[in-house]
Structure 1
Amino acid sequence: MEMNATLPYYINTTNVIEHVDNFATLRQSLKIISLIIYSLAFVLAFLPLSVTYTALDFHWPFGNFMCKLNSSLTYLNMFASVYILVVISVDRCVSVVWPVWAQNHRSVRKASCVSLGVWALALILSTPYFVFRDTAPLYDIILCFNNFALSDDYETPSVILLRQFRNQAMTITRFLLGFVVPFTVIVSCYAVIIHRLKRNRTLASQSSRPFKIIAVVIITFFLCWAPFHIIALIESASHIGTEPSLTFRYVITIGVPIATSLAFINSCLNPLLYVFMGKDFKDKIRKSILSVLETVFQEDSSSQSR
Structure 2
Amino acid sequence: NSQRLTNSGECDFADIDRLAKTLLLGISIPTFILGLVLNALALSVFCCFWKKQTKTSVYMINLALADVLLLLSLPLKLYYSIKKAPRLLCSFIESLYFVNMYGSIFIIVCITVDRYICIRHPFEGRANQSPKWAILICCFIWAVAWLCSSPMYVFHEEDNFKCFHNMSEQAWSTPLIVSVEIFGFLIPLAVIIFCSAQNIWILLNHKSQAKKKVEGNGSLRVIIINLVVFLVCFTPVHLAICLQYLVRQHVIVDCSLKQTISFFIQVSMIIANLNCCLDAIFYYLAAKEFREKTHLKKVIELYTT
Query: TM exceeds 0.5?
Result: yes
Q: Is contact 1:39-1:51 (8 Å) kept?
A: no
Say if 1:211 and 1:31 are closer, same or farther in 2 by CA, change over 3 A. Answer: same
Q: Is contact 1:81-1:267 (8 Å) kept?
A: no
Deviations 1:262-301, CA, capped at 9 Å, x for gaps: 1111233123223212239x9xxxxxxxxxxxxxxxxxxx
Moved more, 121-130 or 260-269: 121-130
Q: Where does residue 129 of structure 2 map in the other structure?
A: 106
1:240 paired with 2:240, answer no
Amino acid in structure 1 at the alignment position of 2:177: T
Say if 1:188 and 1:274 are closer, same or farther in 2 by CA, change over 3 A. Answer: farther
Say if 1:273 and 1:34 are closer, same or farther in 2 by CA, change over 3 A. Answer: same
Say if 1:190 and 1:108 are closer, same or farther in 2 by CA, change over 3 A. Answer: same
Instruction: Output the aligned Cα RMSD.
Output: 3.0
Unaligned runs of at least 5 residues, structure 2? 1-5, 37-70, 292-305
Amino acid in structure 2 at the alignment position of 1:133: F
Superposed counterparts of 1:281-296, under 5 Å: none
Q: Where does residue 184 of structure 1 map in the other structure?
A: 190
Q: CA deviation at 1:80?
A: 0.5
Say if 1:276 and 1:243 are closer, same or farther in 2 by CA, change over 3 A. Answer: closer
Q: CA deviation at 1:227?
A: 1.2
Q: CA deviation at 1:136?
A: 4.3
Q: Where does residue 8 of structure 2 map in the other structure?
A: 14
Deviations 1:36-95, CA, capped at 9 Å, x for gaps: 2222333322122111122x1xx423x121111111111110110000000000110111
Q: Distance in 2 between matches of 1:35 and 1:94?
A: 41
TM-score normalized with structure 1 length: 0.70
TM-score normalized with structure 2 length: 0.70
Q: CA deviation at 1:137?
A: 5.3
Q: Where does residue 67 of structure 1 map in the other structure?
A: 90
Amino acid in structure 1 at the alignment position of 2:103: A
| Secondary structure of the structure 2 residue equivalent to 1:198 | helix
| Secondary structure of the structure 2 residue equivalent to 1:107 | coil
Unaligned runs of at least 5 residues, structure 1? 1-11, 149-162, 283-306
| Secondary structure of the structure 1 residue equivalent to 2:174 | helix
Number of residue-to-residue matches in the alignment: 243
Q: CA deviation at 1:165?
A: 8.1
Deviations 1:91-141, CA, capped at 9 Å, x for gaps: 1011111222123222122221222122122223222223x2347454xxx
Deviations 1:201-248, CA, capped at 9 Å, x for gaps: 2658x89x9223322221221122111111111111112347721321
Percent of residue pairs bearing the same amino acid type: 22
Q: Distance in 2 between matches of 1:103 and 1:13?
A: 66
Q: Distance in 1 between matches of 2:190 and 2:75?
A: 33
1:31 paired with 2:53, answer no
Superposed counterparts of 1:1-306, under 5 Å: 14=8, 18-20=11-13, 23-24=14-15, 26-43=16-33, 44=36, 45-46=71-72, 47-54=74-81, 56=82, 59-61=83-85, 63-130=86-153, 132-134=154-156, 136=158, 138=160, 142-144=161-163, 145=165, 148=168, 163=169, 166-201=172-207, 203=211, 210-241=219-250, 244-279=253-288
Q: Distance in 2 between matches of 1:268 and 1:15?
A: 42
Say if 1:259 and 1:64 are closer, same or farther in 2 by CA, change over 3 A. Answer: same
